[in-house]
Amino acid sequence: MTLPRILIGGAMAVLILFAAAVGGWWILVREDASLATNAPAIPVDLKKTPASTGSGAGQTFTIISDRSEAAYFADEKLASLPLPSTAKGSTKDVSGEFHLTADGFDLDVSKPTTFAVDLTTLTSDKDLRDRRVQNLGLETAKFPTATFTAARVVGFDKSLPADQEQDLQLSGTLDLHGVKKDVTWDVKARREGDVITALATLKFKFADFGIPILNIADFVSVQDSVTLQVQVVAQAS
């Protein structure tokens, strides 16, 4: 066999292997998830709950886990090719309480407002990705839970109708991967009677919390930032 034929054959083999890798990523790994853009609608069955009455005291809203969700969104890219995708991993293991004033979304600072997410139950559409995220990224054997403790809310507009979505900023401390940092979530929220729903969005770099940037099967790289979204439905206790 002549040298040109050997070179051509070698090049073809490389192209075939690369095409197979691309096809495997596209079929077996690639996901294209989209961020939510609005707070969940107030559930119809909970709408019937009458609004609390009283002397103006604050209210405690408890997260309903099976109606709520915490998720990460991470951009992935196939090595050497501009073929982006967005992976999503999520869990319904969200718990916590919001202590609010009698009307609106101001915090009742006499009690701690916190929510927690069980990271060990995060799953995406691919087991391979989940193993990397759990074992090498979040190290959930050591850091199984992420916790946020709220400090303040700004942006509440009392002039809006009670059932209209509000654009808020929720600041506080996020405890993730053994690191505590002050962060501010962009929040869209609704409150109707004794029910609130909210969509909280936060973007940060993995390095901010000491989380390594992962790759999948050595040919898919994850970009250096991640977006968290928490959707909650909560009802007054």
DSSP 90-115: EES-EEEEEEE-SSSS-B-TTS--EE
Q: Which pLDDT score is estimated for 141?
A: 97
Per-residue pLDDT 10s for the chain (237 aa) are 554 454 444 444 433 333 334 444 433 444 568 899 999 999 989 876 555 544 456 889 999 999 999 999 988 775 544 556 888 999 999 999 999 987 788 899 889 999 999 999 999 988 888 998 999 999 999 999 999 999 999 999 988 887 789 999 999 999 999 999 999 999 999 998 889 999 999 999 999 999 998 765 555 567 889 999 999 999 997
Q: Which residue's structure tokens are 């192209």? A: 15
Count of C-beta atoms within a 10 Å radius of residue 48:
9
Show Cβ contacts of residue 170 under 8 Å, excluding neighbours closer than 6 positions. 150, 152, 153, 184, 185, 187, 200
CA distances to 4, 14, 31, 147, 155 from 134, rounded to whole Å, are: 48, 33, 18, 17, 35
Q: Which residue's structure tokens are 């900023």? A: 169
Q: Which pLDDT score is estimated for 175?
A: 98
